[in-house]
Structure 1
Amino acid sequence: MNDSNHTGFGGATARSRKPRAPNAPPASHTTIAGTKNSDIVYRDLRSAIIAMELTPGTVINEKELTQRYGISRTPVREALLRLSEDRLLDVVPKSGTFVARIPLSAVREALVARRALEAVTVREATARASESQFIEMRAIIQRQRETAAAGDEAAFHNADDDFHAAIAAAARLPGIWDMIQQIRVQIERYRRLTLPQPGRMAMVVGEHEAVLEAMTRNDADTAVERMAHHLNKLQLDIAVFRDMWPDYFVFDPAVDSELLEE
């Protein structure tokens, strides 16, 4: 474990940066109708882990969770089991429960799958998108530009998702975006590490603009190529971010060497 770990729920250039202290997501005092307590705990913890508010190695205290939510241990344990099955928590006998490190092999597989799926949505959206949908995409990019200028990483991340979702919607293939959401859990944790890098958000805005420009010219081949370039940046920079936060990643030389060489 590294010094950034804490107890409780509460073309890149390598540089040292102390991760921001995780914030505890608010406890859900009012139960949503039809939502089990275990679902609420699962949802809150999952969101905090993916957003890197709870960083790899963070101790998850079962007793503290029961007190925070005012519930028994059974629903808490159910939530923790589901998160373990999602590979977001590690349960270590006689040691405790910890936020899992990011497996590079899962990142690689998810990146390959996402590139293939987004190539389909970009190509179809180029052929099918209406002018109003292109206007919507331009507005999303402008929102990204503004949130980048404000340094609002969370809002920028949401706008980034909105751009990719808008492409899938214009392609009339929204289900593909749902599929991407399901496979990209580990990618999202890694992406959150990259956003604070100086110039990263501005670079993403430029890459999105390049994709949209090709789409509006009805040049599907170029649009797909530019989207692939955009997504490939995440893979190209993995070695740098792994070296910056080695305790955040699981690296198996026999499996992951190819990932760091591509």
Structure 2
Amino acid sequence: MNETIHKQTRSVRDVVYETLKNGILSEQLSPEMHLKERALSEQLGVSTTPIKEALRRLELEGLVYTRPRRGTFVSTQIMKSVEEITLARSSLEGVAARLAASKITEEQKKQLGTIIEQMEVYTVAKNSDGLRKSNEAFHHFIIKAAKNDYIEKQITSLKAFANVVRKHALANVNELDRAYEEHHLIFTKVGSNDPDGAEEAMRDHIRRTLSFCKENKQGVNET
């Protein structure tokens, strides 16, 4: 998190927010770290205004907290926020899978099948990094196939939280086969135009993965 922010297609305040959020979730900004507005503005090459706005948004998400007359600090309860937001994401992606099952074309079914085949190859090879990337591509494809701009926007805003769960779950080789099986089930339900089954399979997959991370203490720092 040491790069100056230059011109972006998104607003500066959104880029600052995403940069700080990713820094917290990746633990580059560690729990209890004092987030000094002036230092951050100099580091990112922006004024303190977008820094202030970003910190307010992060506080609403439970990623930072404010101490009166002392400033803003990175939360020690980040996993709690990840858990709450992931539960919300499971419902949103469940609806996306439902819509995709109703709208997916035959050509899209073939494309999604190609992603599943890639996931199988990575699973057999125990390639966690490859499976993580194809996993992300699978979810992105489902969201696009849903053809709902509002849901896509909401899920995209939670991408950093999804990556935390996905990264830590797939770092455990014992999780690879289960992850592939669940994605194959989602693929089957979407491909057979089964909205109810697709929604249930997607929702259960995300919630089960979250439970796995909690049980195996795989996630960002929590006290």
Which TM-score bucket, shorter chain as reference? 0.7 to 0.9
Aligned residue number for residue 26 of structure 1: 3
Find the aligned partners of 2:200 and 2:27 in 1 and give their Cα distance: 30
Deviations 1:181-226 (A, max 9, x none): 4467656544443332223344322211121123323444443443
Find the aligned partners of 2:48 and 2:199 in 1 and give their Cα distance: 49
1:4-23 → structure 2 map (5 Å cutoff): none
Aligned residue number for residue 102 of structure 1: 78
Find the aligned partners of 1:27 and 1:77 in 2 and give their Cα distance: 17
Conserved? CA contact 2:31–2:221, under 8 Å? yes
Aligned residue number for residue 7 of structure 1: none
Q: Which amino acid aligns with 1:27?
A: T
Identity percentage over the alignment?
26
Say if 1:219 and 1:33 are closer, same or farther in 2 by CA, change over 3 A: closer
Aligned residue number for residue 195 of structure 1: 170
Find the aligned partners of 2:60 and 2:136 in 1 and give their Cα distance: 25
Say if 1:200 and 1:95 are closer, same or farther in 2 by CA, change over 3 A: farther
Deviations 1:46-99 (A, max 9, x none): 233344443444443444323323444444334323322333222223554322
Deviations 1:15-36 (A, max 9, x none): xxxxxxxxx35332x3337844
Aligned residue number for residue 163 of structure 1: 138
Say if 1:45 and 1:128 are closer, same or farther in 2 by CA, change over 3 A: same
Find the aligned partners of 2:172 and 2:68 in 1 and give their Cα distance: 37
Q: After TM superposition, give the deviation of residue 133 of structure 1 in Å.
A: 0.7
Say if 1:128 and 1:103 are closer, same or farther in 2 by CA, change over 3 A: same
Find the aligned partners of 1:150 and 1:238 in 2 and give their Cα distance: 19
Deviations 1:156-180 (A, max 9, x none): 5554343223223323334323233
Aligned residue number for residue 232 of structure 1: 207
- Decide which moves more: 79-88 or 98-107: 98-107
Q: Which amino acid aligns with 1:107?
A: E
Find the aligned partners of 1:183 and 1:231 in 2 and give their Cα distance: 13
SS in 2 for 1:199: helix
| Larger fraction in helix | 2
Gaps of 5+ in 1: 1-23, 250-262
